[in-house]
Amino acid sequence: MSCESVREKLTAYLDGELEGERGSAVRGHLRGCDACRQIAADEAALRDGLRSLPPLDPPASLWAGVQSRLAAEEVKDAERPAWGRALTWLRPRALHIGFATVALGAAIVLLVMKLQRDDEQQVAVKPPIQVPVPEIASNNPEPPRAGQCNTTPSDDKDVSAAIAAEPAAITACYAQTVSELIEVAKEARGEWPADRQRDFDIELEALQEKVVRATDERPRQQAYRKMIRYLQRAVVRDDVALANLGGQQ
């Protein structure tokens, strides 16, 4: 091993980073080479000298200086315009925002491509055979009545009118359901004892009164829903539920 090669490895050797044969080779060379041994001794002394340098205590004024600069920075922050503060907030997050933007862009591109492909597939499919449907002539559609649950507006109707008519149509559906349930409940009522029949009549009358008293669609629908729940329980003769519901009314 040459002197040059050994001197290059001296730092690592003295720091204990050369193991095995490489360490032995350097050690062997140092035993026989005065010049390299002197350099190794110098470097070891230097390393020991550096390690034994005393720690330096900061002056007592350092903490006060830090606090003073922090306060000055905060005042400066407060005086900066909002966009400047926003930039400061954004700067360390620029990488994340960039990634998020790229990911969002890629997602939008993929979505658009998928939609286009779906459209092409739909075009490729043969159009369905048109079955002639008998036309129901109705130039002046009547407002929905009780029992008239078909609320789907046809294409040639004014959509806003259909939307406006929708709450009333829903109420009509509830009314239809209630009338059907009352029919069923009346059949079941014949088999009940007299006191239960009396309770049922009183409760039903109270619920019907709430429906009548309701001044708007929403409370009317709520009253209908209560009545529907009550009647459903009455029909299945759920005594406990009926008693509880009746107690709540």
Partner 1 sequence: MEMLYHQFKRRVFGMAHRIVGANDAEEVAQEVFVRVFRGLANFRGDSALSTWIYRLTVNAALSHLARRGRRQEVSDENIPEQAATPEPERDPGLASRIEAAMNQLPAGYRAILVLHDVEGLSHEECAAILDCRVGTCKSQLHKARARMRELLGSIMVLAGDRR
Q: Is 106 in the site for partner 1 (CB under 8 A)?
A: no
Angle between helices 194-213 and 217-235 (to 10 degrees): 170
Kindly tell me which residue out of 20, 61, 215, 248 binds partner 1, with binding defined by CB under 8 A.
61
Q: Which stretch binds partner 1 (CB under 8 A): 4-12, 106-114, 123-131, 151-159?
A: 4-12
| Cβ atoms of 205 and 249 closer than 8 Å | no
Binding string to partner 1 for residues 21 to 40, with x set by CB under 8 A, is what? -----------------xx-
- Residue 56 engages partner 1 in binding (rule: CB under 8 A): yes
Q: Does 12 bind partner 1 (CB under 8 A)?
A: yes
Q: Which residue, 33 or 206, is less far from partner 1 as judged by CB?
A: 33
Among the listed residues 20, 32, 81, 92, the single contact to partner 1 using CB under 8 A: 92
Based on the shown chain and the rule CB under 8 A, indicate whether residue 193 belongs to the binding site for partner 1. Answer: no
195 closest CA partner among 249, 137, 239, 153: 239
What is the binding site for partner 1 (CB under 8 A)? Answer: 8, 10-12, 17, 38-39, 41-47, 49-59, 61-63, 65-66, 69-70, 73, 92
